[in-house]
Amino acid sequence: MKGQFYQIADITDIDLLKSQLSQYFTLVDEIETRTRFEVLDSFDWRLYRNGWELIHNGHHWEIVDLDTEQMVGTIVLDNDRKKKFCWDFPVSDFSALLYPILEMRALLHVVTIARQTTRLNLCNNDEKIVARLEIESFHGQGDESPVHRCRPVPVRGYQKELKLLQASIDALTFPLAKVSPVFTIIEINGVTPGSYSSKINISLAPALPTAEAVRQIMESLVEVMHLNLPGVRQDIDSEFLHDFRVSVRRSRSLLGQLKGVLDPETTASLQAQLKSMGAITGNVRDLDVYLLEESVYSKLVPEELRPGIVQLFRTLKKKRRYAKDRMIKAMNGEEFSSSMKALDDYISSDPLGASDTPGSTQPIFEIAKTVIYKRYRRIVKKGRKITETTPDEKLHELRIDCKKLRYLLEFFSSLFPKEEMKKLIKQLKQLQENLGAFNDLSVQQEFLVDHLNSIKPQTSQVLLLSAAIGALVARLETAHQHVRSQFLHVFIAFNTPGNQKRFKTLFT
Amino acid sequence: MKIIALYSIKGGVGKTATCVNLAYLAAQKNVPTLLCDLDPQGSSTFYFRIQPSGKYNSKKFLKGGKKVDKAIRGTDFEWLDLLPADMSYRHLDIMLNDVSHSRTRLRRLLARFNGEYEYLFLDCPPNITLVSENVFEAADAILVPLIPTTLSLLTYRKLDQFFLDSDLDRTKLHPFFSMVEHRKRMHQDTIQEMADENANLLQTTIPYNADVEKMGIYRAPLTQCRPNSNGSMAFSKLWEEVSTKILKGHLNGD
């Protein structure tokens, strides 16, 4: 077992340690090794959050556990072509590790590190190695100072000598190195690993005037928009646009649900800006949703019809290229930049000065309780009315209400007990999943039927495409009915007396 | 775990040199390897610059368990550990006589290293004694270095006969020629004669090499300090042959 790493603030401290050790041992430096590697992660730090570090060095790729520094997986490729997505790696144990973590997110360059490892051999009078000291230095690309660390490496059967080495290290009071040196360097470079997340994380004081609380939430939502825009423009992966759009939707939902307490003019103007931002980006996102389903769709149809699915996706990819070009053009236009500017202006304004509605000065805690409870009551009322014969539209309406409640719970979760909110969100999530799947299946069927109507079956190829779409729609319809039949169970699970009581105690 | 014994009735035939080098080569592949120096002369122990602990002796060895674990020393090479020999090992024979399962004692003792080491090399004392019989029982492969002389062949035939008489597994025996001088006609003839009569003979021969003798000065395996010398190349070839032809199929099997 190798020992723990110790931090060395200054490399000259090693000379101090050496002079200590030379009292007991003959010291022999082993040849040092130098390696250079790149660290990659997704924009939202998925690997880091999973406790991993992805290392790339030429043909070698390695996943390392951040805590233990043990290798989790590795692959050696026969080329050093750039790998952007997990599906760019050959099917292997390695790609199987990445898939569930990375999903559709692209790998981005985080940092390039040069590592230098030296082994100091501690020898006895027979010139036999009785212990080792491993010294590592990590250099980033910039002129920031390198990070050093060392650790004792025992040789079996030489306990006494190891104790001497350990005592010499202890005498210099080196602190234990807890964080991976790679991430220390990243932080020196001014980046906080794991900092970006699309999740809402806002801490509000209960007494905060509502107008100011809304401004603060908007500020965090607009920040997410700004963070994602470069990735949207460069089209790095589908999730930049998705996160951008979610922030737009959340903003609309927030402003819409707190309509009465804010200045109506500002609200109306911002809502219009947000609406147009949603419209500009909607088409590409819709197509992205289908493109992400390619492998799922392909598995839904019999093998003979799969070439038809390939054709379908070829067309969809082409459509997406056009849609993306149109979107980028719109984003470079006057309207979009003035929308972004309107949002920026609003979040840097003094909302209390600009509004004189009576609600704007009320404490957010009270307002939050009212809007959450109102939305919750509406969901229960609507949900109870749904039977097996209720038209689909009613379920779609309920889905929208649930989404609005979900956003509210997330915006205001800091005002209420954490554990209780977690439970509420978890239960709501199950209901949303059912309704979401139901909606997705409706939309997908509709889209496919539209697509089917737009093609003229003149060639055998197109016939195959049509047949594939037909098979797909049939499968989706079966799933659609199944999800629908599940609704009543899911709703009963949501609408339990316990949950009702929880909502009542928390929000009234 | 595979147990490989280096054994010879005669002394001074390159047994220890082969054992040290093969063990080093095995460990070079990052495979946990243990060399057990059973020869009271402790030449393997000396080559690795290891001083046996004063507290360790043949009695503790035969008792087995933690006492043996504590005597193991790491060599200067990662993945290669050594169980040092002690002068008291010269009494191992007599002591073995007094214990139960006197022929399979060693096999039982070494079983505790299963899982900890992948390869276990035994550097055996010369002569046919109860210690050797324990080695014959315990080992998966017994490598027998021979100098290409008529007398050596005679001795080997005696060993073979002993295996036959004692109902031991003769297929474990793998002779190979050591300290070969290819210029010598007699060496060539003897090698040919042996090849004709023994299918178990290893193809690789270890040449007579002054460097091998200098190992006592370097106190390190030749394959480590002079990897490109003729002797080192021959040891590498020998390990290649042993690990791929003889031990192949055994590995991971037990």
Co-location of A420 and A489 in the same domain:
yes
- The pLDDT value given to residue B254: 40
Q: Is residue A162 part of a domain?
A: yes
* CB hemisphere CA count around A476 (13 angstroms): 23
Task: Give dist(CA A32, CA A74) in Å, integer.
Answer: 24
A280 in the same domain as A175: no
Nearest to B49 among A126, A154, A156 (CB): A126
Q: Where are the alpha helices (DSSP H) in A65-206?
A: 93-102, 159-171, 181-188
Residues A159 and A48 in one domain: yes
Q: What is the 8-class DSSP label of residue B171? A: G
Residue B249 banded pLDDT, cuts 50, 70, 90: low
Given phi > 0 = left and psi -120 to 50 = alpha, else beta, which region is A418? alpha
Beta bridge partners of A129: A123
**Could you tell me the CA-to-CA distances from A439 to A239, A405, A475 in Å, in that order?**
20, 17, 15
Residues A165 and A204 in one domain: no
Domain for residue A169, yes or no? yes
Shared-domain flag, residues A97 and A224: no
How far off is chain B from A152, nearest CA to CA, in Å?
14
Decide if B180 contacts B43 (C-beta within 8 A): no
pLDDT digits (tens, 9 = 90+) for B110-159: 999 999 999 999 999 988 889 999 999 999 999 999 999 999 999 999 99
Report chain A residues whose CB lies below 8 A from the CB of B74.
Answer: 154-158
A1: in domain: no
Judge contact between A231 and A211, C-beta under 8 A. Answer: no
**How large is the greatest C-alpha to C-alpha distance in chain A, in angstroms?**
91
Three-state DSSP class for A100? helix
Pair A181, A264 in one domain? no
- Strand partners of residue A139: A114
Per 3-state DSSP, chain B is made up of helix, strand and coil in percentages (nearest 5) of 50, 15, 35
Between these two residues, B175 and A199, which has the higher pLDDT value? B175
Contact between B68 and B53 under an 8 Å Cβ cutoff? The reply is no
Contacts of A121 in chain B (CB under 8 A): 76
Asked whether residue B19 is assigned to any structural domain, the reply reads yes
Query: Within a domain: residue B38?
Result: yes
CA diameter of chain B: 52
- Other C-beta atoms within 10 Å of A192: how many? 10
In sequence order, the β-bridge partners of residue B205 are B177
* Contact indicator for B91, B58 with CB cutoff of 8 Å: yes
Measured from the Cβ of residue A270, the count of other Cβ atoms closer than 10 Å reads 21
Residues forming a β-bridge with A41: A108
Number of folded domains in chain B?
Answer: 1
Say if B226 falls within a structural domain: yes
Q: Which of A121, A127, A155 sits opposite B74 (nearest CB)?
A: A155
Nearest CA in chain B to A122: B76
Q: Is B33 helix (H, G, I), strand (E, B) or coil?
A: strand
Which residues on neighbouring strands pair with residue B5, listed in sequence order?
Answer: B122, B142
Range of the domain at B16: 2-246
Mean pLDDT of chain B: 90
Question: Measured between CB atoms, does A1 come within 8 Å of chain B?
Answer: no
- Residues forming a β-bridge with B154: none
Residues of B in contact with A157 (CB under 8 A): 53, 70-74, 81
Domain limit, last residue, from A342, A362, A382: A362
How would you classify the pairing of strands A108-123 and A26-29? Answer: antiparallel
Query: For position A355, what pLDDT does the model report?
Result: 63
Cβ-nearest to B73 among A121, A127, A157:
A157
Whether B252 is in a domain gets the answer no
**ipTM greater than cut 0.85:** yes
Q: Dump the DSSP string for A339-366.
A: HHHHHHHHHTS-HHHH---GGGGSBHHH
CA–CA dist A361, A355 (Å, integer): 9
Helix axes A392-411 and A418-454, enclosed angle (nearest 10): 140
Chain position carrying tokens 């965090």: A220
Backbone angles phi, psi at B34, to 5 degrees: -125, 135
Q: Which residue is closest to A123 within chain B, CA to CA?
A: B76
CATH number at residue B177: 3.40.50.300
How would you write the pLDDT of chain A (508 residues) with one tens digit per residue?
A: 677 899 988 888 888 999 999 999 999 987 789 999 999 999 999 999 999 999 999 899 999 998 888 899 999 998 878 899 999 999 999 999 999 999 999 999 999 999 999 999 999 999 999 999 999 999 988 777 889 999 999 999 999 999 999 999 999 888 888 778 888 888 887 788 888 888 888 899 999 999 999 999 999 999 999 999 999 999 999 999 999 999 999 999 999 999 877 788 888 999 999 999 999 999 999 999 999 988 888 888 888 888 888 989 999 999 999 999 999 999 999 999 999 999 999 999 887 766 667 778 899 999 999 999 999 999 999 999 998 888 989 999 999 999 999 999 999 999 999 999 999 999 999 999 999 999 989 988 998 898 888 887 778 888 888 888 889 899 999 999 999 989 989 999 999 999 999 999 999 8
The answer to whether the CB of A386 falls within 8 A of the CB of A434 is no
Per-residue confidence at B253, pLDDT binned at 50, 70, 90? very low
Alpha-carbon distance of A54 to A41, in angstroms, equals: 7
Is the domain of A75 the same as that of A152?
yes
Establish if A164 belongs to a structural domain: yes
Q: Is the dihedral of CA A379, A380, A382, A386 positive or negative?
A: positive
Helices (H), A172-209: 181-188
Whether residue B254 lies inside any domain: the answer is no
Quote the CA–CA distance of B20 and B29 in Å, as a whole number: 15
pLDDT score at B251: 46
CATH number at residue A212: 1.40.20.10
CB-CB: which of B48, B53, B74 is closest to A156? B74
Measured between beta carbons, the chain B residues lying within 8 angstroms of A129 are 76
Q: Given the DSSP bridges, would you call strands A60-65 and A6-8 parallel, antiparallel or unpaired?
A: unpaired
- The reply to whether residue B72 touches residue A157, judged by beta carbons under 8 angstroms, is yes
The per-residue DSSP string of A374-437 comes to HHHHHHHHHHHH--TTS-HHHHHHHHHHHHHHHHHHHHTGGGS-HHHHHHHHHHHHHHHHHHHH
Q: What is the pLDDT of residues B209-221, one digit of tens each?
A: 878 878 888 889 9
* Residue B205 counted as domain residue: yes
Q: Are residues A387 and A325 in the same domain?
A: no
Of A351, A405, A420, the residue nearest A375 (C-alpha): A405
CB contact residues (below 8 A), chain A span 144-183, against chain B: 154-158
Q: Where does B58-184 have alpha helices with state H?
A: 58-63, 66-71, 92-97, 105-110, 130-138, 150-165
Provide the residue range defining the domain that includes A389: 364-508
Question: Domains in chain A: how many in total?
Answer: 3
The reported pLDDT for the residue numbered B252 is 42
Q: How far is B218 from chain A (nearest CA, A)?
A: 11
- Point out the domain boundary residue: A188, A223, A251: A188
**Per-residue confidence (pLDDT) for residue A181, from 0 to 100:** 87
H or E element, residue A318: helix A306-331
Chain B environment of A117 (Cβ under 8 Å): none
H or E segment and range at residue B120: strand B119-123
Question: Does B14 reside within a domain?
Answer: yes
Residues A368 and A506 in one domain: yes
C-alpha–C-alpha distance, residues A387 and A382, integer Å: 11
Examine the domain organization and report whether A30 and A179 are in the same domain: yes
The region, left, alpha or beta by phi > 0 then psi within -120 to 50, assigned to residue A118 is beta
Domain ends where: A347, A362, A377?
A: A362
**Is residue A193 assigned to a domain?**
no
Which residues of A fall within a CB distance of 8 Å from B219? 126-127
CB atoms within 10 A of CB B60: 18
Q: What is d(CA B48, CA A484) in angstroms, rounded to the nearest whole number?
A: 75
Q: Does A128 touch chain B (CB under 8 A)?
A: yes
Pick A128's closest partner by Cβ from B53, B70, B76. Answer: B76
Residues A348 and A388 in one domain: no
Cα(A169)–Cα(B101) distance, integer angstroms: 49
Contacts of B155-163 with C-beta under 8 Å, sequence gap 24+, read: B155/B9, B155/B10, B156/B194, B158/B9, B159/B9, B159/B128, B162/B128, B163/B136
Contact at 8 Å (CB) between B117 and B79? no
User: What is the average pLDDT across B49-76?
Assistant: 88
